[in-house]
């Protein structure tokens, strides 16, 4: 008898193969089928699908907020109208899954989270290389090589290293955020009493981070606590812990870096029971012992205001909270790569791409490519960076090299998120980037990890028990195969 869920998994996979392989032909051959976009005869490659309407489905993200607030440039350039549907991520994933499996293309452009969309549904997405090479369409400015390489791999590929299913669209990355004014004020005394330079950066260790946090707890009333964490029983806890796990040489599976960059449907046995993983869990438990006690109730959205309001002196959080920091207390914050463990500094990358549904008809697909091309272009990324509606940080090298962007790295900055650029540039290097496993069953694995970590932080298990229990649960999940 098949393992629970196996029959369903095979059926869903077969259905997706049918959607991609035969859905377009079936739609074209059916009298009452969906109508393709009309292609106009024009020398303007941007306007050949004028009058078309596209639907983009996205998580509520900063880049999507910025684009939604300023769609006019795209409409004026192309004559294409775009409807933007934004949802909480799990709700968005459910709608995408139903649309792809049902052979529909209600959503032409898809926000492709690498773990919840790209990994389980890559067979339902378009390989963008063909569109990028089509001479009748505008070229991809700078080509694929202009995207930050680790981001193109992590957000854009699955399985086959040559195929590109999504273009990097956002790039939230976990870095060390701290009250630079307090470190400057107390730095000499901290250095004398702690025996090391406390200036944040990748040469610091997680043990030193712990000691700095405890020093603030014991020696100053300017903040309530030295550090805060996003240790709620939630995805945020897995994210927070992972930085320490990788720094100590642990990982979720063998070949973790390769799995994080390119993905797999068969990751092999979970390695959370290793000595390195257990050591990392012990360190993480210690960090929480000196952190703000509310850390166990915070995700990233709870932690961010704790720092920007002056409650904690430092934290690890996604770099795009810099804009909120600078708005709350301008000029008082610093940004650095995360501390080292015995193996490296590891900085958790959480970026996503945008993709095109494989169910689109030929001209719909080309029209969707115009939007994907424009939305990730250097000009649009620069506009997003400046947007008062939000906006993320660029995923293209060329944007960071622009003179006005380089100048904005210094205060006062009209683009406060770019103050993190030196830190994230280090974080995105292959030796420093932290990548969770890009596997179709990651959601279930994630739940197992943060559930067992929460038990550990509550005192219901010790680090070794928590890691081994998580590994056992994950092995059961991956042994069932993936249900896409």
Extract the tokens encoding 39: 């292609």
Pick from 319, 343, 339, 189: nearest CA to 251: 343
Residue 483 pLDDT? 54
Q: Which two tokens stand for residue 231?
A: 């240790």
Q: What is the DSSP letter of 483?
A: -
Element (H, E) at 333: strand 333-336
Query: 228 — phi, psi (to 5°)?
Result: -130, 160
Distance from C-alpha of 178 to C-alpha of 314, rounded to nearest angstrom = 4
Q: What is the pTM of this model?
A: 0.90
The string of pLDDT tens digits covering residues 185-216 is 999 999 999 999 999 999 999 999 999 999 99
Q: Is the per-residue pLDDT at 344 higher than 70? A: yes
* Tokens representing residue 330 in the block: 């301008």
By residue count, the chain amounts to 484
Q: pLDDT of 232-275, one tens digit each?
A: 999 999 999 999 999 999 999 999 999 999 999 999 999 999 99
What percent of the chain shows pLDDT beyond 70?
92
The per-residue pLDDT for range 300-341, each reduced to its tens digit, is 999 999 999 999 999 999 999 999 999 999 999 999 999 999
Write b or e for each residue in 6-24: b if 16 or more Cβ atoms lie within 10 A of its Cβ, otherwise e.
Answer: eeebeebbebbeebbeebb
Region 158-164 average pLDDT: 93
All structural domains of the chain, each given as residue ranges with its CATH number in brackets, are: 26-172+350-401 (3.40.190.10), 174-348+437-479 (3.40.190.10)
Indicate if the pLDDT at residue 31 is higher than 80. no
């Amino acid at each position: 008898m098949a393992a629970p869920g196996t029959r369903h998994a095979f059926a869903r996979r077969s259905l997706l193969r049918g959607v991609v392989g035969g859905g377009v032909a079936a739609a074209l051959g059916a009298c009452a089928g969906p109508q393709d976009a009309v292609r106009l005869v024009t020398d303007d490659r941007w306007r050949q699908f004028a009058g078309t309407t596209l639907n983009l489905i996205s998580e509520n993200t900063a880049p999507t907020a910025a684009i939604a607030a300023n769609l006019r440039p795209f409409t004026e350039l192309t004559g294409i109208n775009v409807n933007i549907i934004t949802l909480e991520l799990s709700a968005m994933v459910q709608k995408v899954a139903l649309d792809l499996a049902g052979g529909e293309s209600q959503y032409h452009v898809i926000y492709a989270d690498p773990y919840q969309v790209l990994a389980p549904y890559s067979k339902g997405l378009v390989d963008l290389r063909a569109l990028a090479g089509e001479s009748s369409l505008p070229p991809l400015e700078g080509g694929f090589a202009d995207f930050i390489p680790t981001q193109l791999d992590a957000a854009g590929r699955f399985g086959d290293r040559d195929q590109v299913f999504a273009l990097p669209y956002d790039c939230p990355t976990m870095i060390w955020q701290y009250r630079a004014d307090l470190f400057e004020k107390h730095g000499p005394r901290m250095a004398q009493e702690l025996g090391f330079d406390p200036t944040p950066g990748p040469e610091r260790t997680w043990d030193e981070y712990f000691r700095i946090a405890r020093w603030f707890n014991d020696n100053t009333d300017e903040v309530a606590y030295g550090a805060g964490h996003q240790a709620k029983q939630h995805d945020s806890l897995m994210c927070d812990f992972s930085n320490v796990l990788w720094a100590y040489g642990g990982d979720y599976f063998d070949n973790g870096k390769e799995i994080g960059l390119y993905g797999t449907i068969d990751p092999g046995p979970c390695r959370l029971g290793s000595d390195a993983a257990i050591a990392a869990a012990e360190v993480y438990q210690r960090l929480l012992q000196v952190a703000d006690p509310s850390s166990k109730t915070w995700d990233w959205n709870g932690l961010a205001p704790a720092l920007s309001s002056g409650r904690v002196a430092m934290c690890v959080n996604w770099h795009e909270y810099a804009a909120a920091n600078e708005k709350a207390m301008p000029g008082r914050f610093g940004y650095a790569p995360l501390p080292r463990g015995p193996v490296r500094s590891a900085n958790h990358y959480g970026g996503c791409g945008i993709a095109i549904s494989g169910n689109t008809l030929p001209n719909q697909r080309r029209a969707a490519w115009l939007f994907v091309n424009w939305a990730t272009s250097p000009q649009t990324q620069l506009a997003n960076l400046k947007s008062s509606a939000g906006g993320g940080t660029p995923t293209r090298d060329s944007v960071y090299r622009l003179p006005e962007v380089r100048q904005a790295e210094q205060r006062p900055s009209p683009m406060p998120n770019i103050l993190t650029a030196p830190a994230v540039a280090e974080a995105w290097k292959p030796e420093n980037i932290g990548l969770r496993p890009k596997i179709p069953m990651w959601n279930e694995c994630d739940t197992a990890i943060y559930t067992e970590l929460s038990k550990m932080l509550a005192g219901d298990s010790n680090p070794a028990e928590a890691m081994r229990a998580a590994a056992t649960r994950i092995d059961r999940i991956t042994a069932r195969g993936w249900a896409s």
